[in-house]
Structure 1
Amino acid sequence: MKSTLQQLSQKLETEEAVDFVKSEFEKQLKARLSLVRICAPTVVLHGTGINDDLNGIERPVGFPVKAMQEQRAEVVQSLAKWKRLRLKEYELEPGTGIVTDMKALRPDEDLGPLHSISVDQWDWEKVMLPEDRHLDFLKEQVSKIYDSILATQAAVATKYQLITPELPEEITFIHAEDLQKKYPHLTAKQREDVVAKEFGAVFLIGIGGLLGSGEPHDGRAPDYDDWSTPTSATTKGLNGDILVWNSVLERAFELSSMGIRVDKGTLELQLKERKADDRKKLYYHSQLLEEKLPQTIGGGIGQSRLCMFLLQKQHIGEVQVSIWPEEMKTGLSERGIHLL
């Protein structure tokens, strides 16, 4: 009985710590990026092009709606496109934006320490000027997000003195093309491990576009991030991932995916490259091609991921309630890892 009570006490302490991390980080993020919190949908209509296709292979959870003549709806996979439509509606000024809680279901995830079928993240988006479509502007926004993470790390270390801060004071920027050239014999994930361990925190630029090897570093849908715009003679891409070195798991750990969003030209280019021109007739895509949507930058920041990292947990199920195979829960419990 004592052991059970101790487990319950630890879980309650973790719940309080998770709430603290989420509240502190959101406060920091809103201030640095000039964001206003808004409400977000859990579902969107099928066939509008609003739902995020992620890598293009994940199956969204869908169902017919009785009160709408059986029209199909889908649980969101992220809010990348929905946010841009909302910014048009709110008519926000450049330099300001929105942030919301995104809760998604991704049944095709491979369950493990980093992944569950329940996804929660801060989805943020802000209006930008068309002339800010360049790498320096992207880096400026990344640095603001990283500063928000550093401030939250400091607050966590002050409140929970057993936790020692590990992140470096600055984030390092590197292009996926340069990383591939430096380590041509490593896989993409192995390259991430090497660079994250070397620098502690990196922003890996250029996710989705083809590298010199003929393969992308990782998948990205063609209709939200801009991964095809040349930024120099040798590199391209106006998006990327924030990666940190997780010393508990001893591997690279992705906290955020973000980027400058496609405009009319890059949408056409990326749809053509992915042989997805049929999407042009969808509502979202037609609005963008008719240049009726504002130019934006945005992304998602994993809530459970950030809590897991800053609280130095071994499994995402320690900071998030989801469903897990019984054999996985039993094996973790035997190792002293108790899922919420």
Structure 2
Amino acid sequence: MRNNSNATSLDLKETQLAIKTLKDYFQQELANTLNLARVSAPLMVRPETGLNDNLSGVETPVNFTVNKGEMKVEIVQSLAKWKRNALKEYGFHTYEGLYTDMNAIRPDESLDPLHSIYVDQWDWEKIIQKEDRNKNYLRLVVKEIFEVFKTTENYINHVYPYVLTKKLPEEIFFISSQELEDRYPDLSPKEREDAITKEKKAVFIEEIGDVLASGDKHDDRSPDYDDWTLNGDILFWNEVLGRAFELSSMGIRVSKESLKTQLEKDGKTDRESLPYHQDVLNERLPFTIGGGIGQSRLCMFFLEKSHIGEVQAGIWDKDTKLAAKEQGIILL
């Protein structure tokens, strides 16, 4: 594990230029590969619409009132549900999709080399047919996205041939969260992720959100957007940090049946009355697949940085600043 930002010779200015180059290339390749159109997205939503992402259910969204206190609004935590609604409202057709910049503030996030309170990612969503709601189609799209990552790696390494190294394997490895638990029964979920990703270098862990045979979950997932049997995370082995590194969470979205089942399992049936949930339950929204891809995570990985603060301007506590200084890391 490298412990300082000298893992690459990119200085501050070069890093800023490389971030722009990397982001521009990746998002265009992603759009071309998945047939996505760029759209504008909200920074805020009304809580009563049910459109905000509840994440694992314990995070508190930033909220405030506007119009002299008449309306309460929340900063989005992600656009998982908003995108599906937007595809209908904007008149997109089957196998067409959208992507957008998603900017969020998550004040409950613990500050560390991978997390800040500011979240920046590309959120994307694409209309599919009902018969596409299966594992084969999910894996097809994962492979398409992995090819975009590989193409991006080749491009940025060509731009900086004496600085960056090849990190990705030829293929991504698929494994379910239950298979992962069976493979490493004595490890914690995060330790399992590290073990399998160190071995395979690029992994898609499937079926996240439901209870495993052990009685535990691999990880928490909100019950109302991803189908827990048709979702997963894309992880790469990060040699700089010496650990698994999540780049994307994605999945085929809930049907009326899976939404009802998951709300019951999670004890969140009270959400059924919200407008978004009513649209799903009454099949007024298209069947979709979608996800989020971390922008700062992408830059960290391909530019071989050891702290998210090297690729994202943020707010840091004294201990984080001191630790970074001791390791020679310059936080933006």
TM-score of the aligned structures, taking structure 2 as reference length: 0.95
Q: Distance in 2 between matches of 1:214 and 1:128?
A: 33
Aligned alpha-carbon RMSD (Å): 1.0
Q: Distance in 2 between matches of 1:314 and 1:100?
A: 26
What stretches of structure 1 move > 3 A for 4+ residues in a row? Answer: none
User: How many angstroms does 1:93 deviate by?
Assistant: 1.5
Structure 1 residue 93 corresponds to structure 2 residue 93 = yes
User: How many angstroms does 1:290 deviate by?
Assistant: 1.2
User: How many angstroms does 1:92 deviate by?
Assistant: 1.4
Q: Distance in 1 between matches of 2:318 and 2:21?
A: 30
User: How many angstroms does 1:327 deviate by?
Assistant: 2.9
Q: Identify the match of residue 247 of structure 2 among 235, 255, 262.
A: 255
Q: Distance in 2 between matches of 1:26 and 1:10?
A: 24
Structure 1 residue 310 corresponds to structure 2 residue 302 = yes
Structure 1 residue 266 corresponds to structure 2 residue 267 = no
Q: Distance in 2 between matches of 1:97 and 1:325?
A: 39
User: How many angstroms does 1:326 deviate by?
Assistant: 2.4
Q: Distance in 1 between matches of 2:95 and 2:211?
A: 31
Deviations 1:291-325 (A, max 9, x none): 10000000000000010000000000000011001
Q: Distance in 2 between matches of 1:158 and 1:27?
A: 17
Which residue does 1:332 correspond to in 2?
324
Q: Distance in 1 between matches of 2:325 and 2:144?
A: 38
Which residue does 1:232 correspond to in 2?
none
Q: What SS class does the counterpart of residue 47 from structure 1 fall into?
A: helix
Structure 1 residue 277 corresponds to structure 2 residue 273 = no
Q: What SS class does the counterpart of residue 156 from structure 1 fall into?
A: helix
Q: What SS class does the counterpart of residue 119 from structure 1 fall into?
A: strand
Which residue does 1:164 correspond to in 2?
165
TM-score of the aligned structures, taking structure 1 as reference length: 0.93
Q: Distance in 2 between matches of 1:93 and 1:213?
A: 42
User: How many angstroms does 1:328 deviate by?
Assistant: 1.5
Which residue does 2:5 correspond to in 1?
none
Q: Distance in 2 between matches of 1:309 and 1:171?
A: 16
Q: What SS class does the counterpart of residue 263 from structure 2 fall into?
A: helix
Q: Distance in 2 between matches of 1:49 and 1:215?
A: 27
Which residue does 1:73 correspond to in 2?
73
Q: Distance in 2 between matches of 1:327 and 1:290?
A: 50
User: How many angstroms does 1:215 deviate by?
Assistant: 1.4
Q: Distance in 2 between matches of 1:252 and 1:273?
A: 29
Q: Which moved more, 1:111-120 or 1:327-336?
A: 327-336
Deviations 1:235-260 (A, max 9, x none): xx100000010000000000000000
Counterpart AA for 1:283: P
Structure 1, unpaired ranges of 5+: 1-8, 228-236
Q: Distance in 2 between matches of 1:157 and 1:98?
A: 28
Counterpart AA for 2:39: I
Which residue does 2:7 correspond to in 1?
none
Counterpart AA for 1:288: V
Counterpart AA for 1:48: T
Counterpart AA for 1:87: L
User: How many angstroms does 1:110 deviate by?
Assistant: 0.8
User: How many angstroms does 1:216 deviate by?
Assistant: 1.3
Q: Distance in 1 between matches of 2:47 and 2:28?
A: 34
Q: What SS class does the counterpart of residue 65 from structure 2 fall into?
A: strand
User: How many angstroms does 1:11 deviate by?
Assistant: 1.4
Which residue does 1:23 correspond to in 2?
24
Mapping of 1:176-325 within 5 angstroms?
176-227=177-228, 237-325=229-317
